[in-house]
Amino acid sequence: MTDLSNIENYSCPLPLQDYPKIVLGHGGGGKLSSELVEHLFLPAFRNEHLECLGDSTILNLGNRRLAFSTDSFVVRPLFFPGGNIGDLAVYGTVNDLAMSGAKPLYLSAGFIIEEGFSMESLTAIAASMAQAAAQAGVQIVTGDTKVVDKGHGDGCYINTSGIGVVPEGLSIAPDQARPGDKVIVSGTIGDHGMAIMSVREGLDFEAVIESDTAPLHGLVEAMLESSREIHVLRDPTRGGVASALNEIAEKSGVGIELDETQLPVKVPVQSACELLGLDPLFVANEGKLLAIVDEHDANRLVRAMQQHPQGRQACVIGTITEAHTTMVVAKTEIGGKRVVTMQIGEQLPRIC
Amino acid sequence: MTDLSNIENYSCPLPLQDYPKIVLGHGGGGKLSSELVEHLFLPAFRNEHLECLGDSTILNLGNRRLAFSTDSFVVRPLFFPGGNIGDLAVYGTVNDLAMSGAKPLYLSAGFIIEEGFSMESLTAIAASMAQAAAQAGVQIVTGDTKVVDKGHGDGCYINTSGIGVVPEGLSIAPDQARPGDKVIVSGTIGDHGMAIMSVREGLDFEAVIESDTAPLHGLVEAMLESSREIHVLRDPTRGGVASALNEIAEKSGVGIELDETQLPVKVPVQSACELLGLDPLFVANEGKLLAIVDEHDANRLVRAMQQHPQGRQACVIGTITEAHTTMVVAKTEIGGKRVVTMQIGEQLPRIC
């Protein structure tokens, strides 16, 4: 068992050299993505809204606080077990808005379609988006379509941007975690990433692994009815639970201790991960959330979540600590501890 | 001279058959684009906001009326005389918001970058976006970056979505044109499209043709100070002035009579158009607007526009009529008349 007392000022041993060119990892939601944002986009666009770097940004407009968020979707394949790029694009932005506690209201949809893409597939994607929007209680109110030459796209890329309204008195943000808080996950992890991987790699398991793509605003609403002591919400998409928790640890200036034995992982997902040498902690989810909540409200919240279809398997998986600031440390099944770093680049490219 | 008395119920002679696959024209801003929106996206997403089909949609939120708009940019080449994809992406959405009379405030930026794209180019694009945002008085408040495999993109695609606030009492929309209204253009037409074409085709003219890419919210503000009788505003981007006016004629259920002799076109643009067999009326602009205004305020508005850097060459180019409803008819230089139809597909692909 490693003594962790000396890792307080541990830093990533891999030098993040300057990249003269974009690599896939810059879109992977790991350390390279962060680097690109922090060293290229942030200095260029700097303003107080952008610096929050949450899933969505909060804007004061008139007598309302609005959440505003954007996400582009380049998932391959476009259709996968449990969903397609259309519902993924709707739920993705709905969830980004919900992670600030906002009620999602309106979406835009921007399509970049490759010449030769079948109208039938596009119709199916639009139908899924419509169904997902209805499911999430949002309207797609404005849109745009561009077509690029054959060979210069991948069938269809979709951007969705969204607007939601934040209830008064809430201040849920990645920098609000406090020592003592509990970390809750809303259900099994790794489903989306492994669903994509299994079709992409043509893996055949006994049970089909389905994406968990789903809207989370309803679950958040139920949670807020049960407690207002929710400090951080995050949907662990690209980069998985590990990246999301690392970002929270850094933004809040706290440590996070994770109990690996508590992590809910479906058996087929676990098997697929083992086969491919992947860690479920780093695999993308599209219908799960992490909540950092006051320790006194944690059990009540878990019970409330378990009453909701999106939170049946909710459980506490960790604690916020004063120790090992900005780091995530996992207690392993064999009783050891390991540092869960943010990945450099891409474990699974083009996952959303 | 053609007798136009019998074209009242004229309709497009080309049957718009069903396309089983997406063609470039579906992104061209012409009739195929409209078809795609009206027959595929609208039926799927139907709601009262989307049906306006303006450059932006208006949302009532609390005590504010917000304009919300989205646009994806896939222009080739990424850098062109007078601008690049970065400032184009900022001004494009700023202008879409301004066309509802809104004061643009916040933008999102979603990047889809091709693996191998140079960091230097990306930095230059981000810098242009920042400068354009400062110029337009907006903040880029939220963003997203995805990376696609080499060969599956074109360097960089950008989506921007934007939020603006609409001043009270305004109702500027494509269906507000009334017989008697005057049609104003804010300056020379065809500059952007011909700038792109000339670099793409390697054409060498005596004078370099520069894109007119510029923010129009300031001009709109100046116009609103001079008159509140502005009924429609539209920036004639893809599909040019012809497509924009055809859309207005259809949405407002009016006819539009255009005086071709009044259209301001720069000499090099005119020459390039003649060389390539293009009509400037169909060529994209990225820093010009069309205004449909009450006839009594038209001259006052033109004078106000001419005081503004973006409106120096503003002039009246036509009149809204009760005749030839939903059609645009141009009085030609030789005294004849011709119907200016909306193009089926794409005159210049990938122009924005």
Inter-chain touch B63–A59, beta carbons under 8 Å: no
For B195-204, the pLDDT digits (tens) are 999 898 888 7
Beta strand pairing call for A328-331 and A255-259:
parallel
C-alpha neighbours within 13 Å on the C-beta side of residue A82? 22
Higher pLDDT, A18 or A300: A300
Please say if the pLDDT value at position B277 is more than 70.
Answer: yes
Q: Which residues contact B79 (CB under 8 A, 6 or more apart)?
A: B85, B121, B124
* CA nearest to A61 within chain B: B64
Please say if the pLDDT value at position A106 is more than 70.
Answer: yes
Q: Which pTM value belongs to this model?
A: 0.93
Q: Say if A154 is an interface residue toward chain B (CB within 8 Å).
A: yes
Inter-chain touch B112–A74, beta carbons under 8 Å: yes
pLDDT of residue B213: 97
Structure tokens at A155: 């069938």
pLDDT of residue A319: 98
The rounded distance, in Å, linking the Cα atoms of A238 and A347 is 9
In the stretch 47-86 of chain A, residues with CB closer than 8 A to chain B read 47, 49-50, 56-57, 59, 61-64, 66, 68-74
pLDDT of residue B11: 40
Q: What is the mean pLDDT of chain A?
A: 91
pLDDT of residue B49: 84
Question: Which of A58, A125, A161 to substitute to test the interface with B, most B CBs within 10 Å?
Answer: A161
Q: Say if B111 is an interface residue toward chain A (CB within 8 Å).
A: yes
For the CA atoms of A173, A179, A185, A190, the dihedral, rounded to the nearest 10 degrees, stands at 90
Question: What are the b/e assignments for A152-178, b being 16+ CB within 10 Å?
Answer: bbbbbbbbbbbbbbbeeeeebbbbbbe
For A23-43, the pLDDT digits (tens) are 988 988 888 888 898 889 999
DSSP code string of B30-76: SHHHHHHIIIIIHHHH--TTGGG-SSSEEEEETTEEEEEEEEEE--S
Q: Helix/strand/coil (H, E, C) string of chain A?
A: CCCCCCCCCCCCCCCCCCCCECCHHHHCCCHHHHHHHHHHHHHHHCCCCHHHCCCCEEEEECCEEEEEEEEEECCCCCEECCEEHHHHHHHHHHHHHHCCCCEEEEEEEEEEEECCCEHHHHHHHHHHHHHHHHHHCCEEEEEEEEEECCCCCCCEEEEEEEEEECCCCCCCCCCCCCCCCEEEECCCCCHHHHHHHHHHCCCCCCCCCCCCCCCCHHHHHHHHHHCCCEEEEECCCCCHHHHHHHHHHHHHCCEEEEEHHHCCCCHHHHHHHHHHCCCHHHCCCCCCCEEEECHHHHHHHHHHHHCCHHHCCCEEEEEEECCCCCCEEEECCCCCEEECCCCCCCCCCCCC
Q: Give the pLDDT mean for A7-20.
A: 50
Grade residue B2 by pLDDT with cuts at 50, 70 and 90.
very low
Q: Give the pLDDT mean for B36-57.
A: 85
Question: What are the b/e assignments for A209-238, b being 16+ CB within 10 Å?
Answer: bbbbbbbbbbbbebbbebbeebbbbbbbbb
pLDDT > 90: what percent of chain A? 74
User: Which domains, from first to last, does chain A contain?
Assistant: 22-51 (no CATH), 54-165 (3.30.1330.10), 182-339 (3.90.650.10)
Inter-chain touch B21–A118, beta carbons under 8 Å: yes
Please say if the pLDDT value at position B130 is more than 90.
Answer: yes
Q: Which of B193, B227, B207, B197 is nearest to B302 (CA)?
A: B227
Please say if the pLDDT value at position A16 is more than 50.
Answer: no
pLDDT > 90: what percent of chain B? 75
Q: Give the pLDDT mean for B61-85.
A: 94
Inter-chain touch B119–A40, beta carbons under 8 Å: yes
pLDDT > 70: what percent of chain A? 94
Please say if the pLDDT value at position B99 is more than 50.
Answer: yes
The rounded distance, in Å, linking the Cα atoms of A193 and A285 is 6
**Whether the bond into B280 is cis, omega within 30 of 0:** no
**Measured between beta carbons, which residues in chain A are less than 8 angstroms from residue B65?**
none
Query: Has the ipTM of the complex gone over 0.90?
Result: yes
For A216-264, the pLDDT digits (tens) are 999 999 999 999 999 999 999 999 999 999 999 999 999 999 999 999 9
pLDDT of residue B181: 98
Q: Which of A48, A142, A34 is nearest to B140 (CA)?
A: A48
pLDDT of residue B55: 77
Question: What are the b/e assignments for B219-247, b being 16+ CB within 10 Å?
Answer: bbebbbebbeebbbbbbbbbbbbbbbbbb
Please say if the pLDDT value at position A342 is more than 90.
Answer: no
The rounded distance, in Å, linking the Cα atoms of A256 and B162 is 36
For A40-95, the pLDDT digits (tens) are 999 999 888 887 767 789 999 888 899 999 999 999 999 999 999 999 999 999 99
* CA nearest to B142 within chain A: A50
pLDDT of residue B304: 98
Place of tokens 């207005």: B248
Per mean pLDDT, which range of A157-161, A303-307, B114-118, B272-276 is the poorest? B272-276
pLDDT of residue A7: 42
Please say if the pLDDT value at position A13 is more than 50.
Answer: no
Grade residue B257 by pLDDT with cuts at 50, 70 and 90.
very high
Grade residue B17 by pLDDT with cuts at 50, 70 and 90.
low
Grade residue B4 by pLDDT with cuts at 50, 70 and 90.
very low
Q: Give the pLDDT mean for B154-173.
A: 95
Helix (H) or strand (E) holding B111: strand B103-114
**Measured between beta carbons, which residues in chain B are less than 8 angstroms from residue A58?**
none
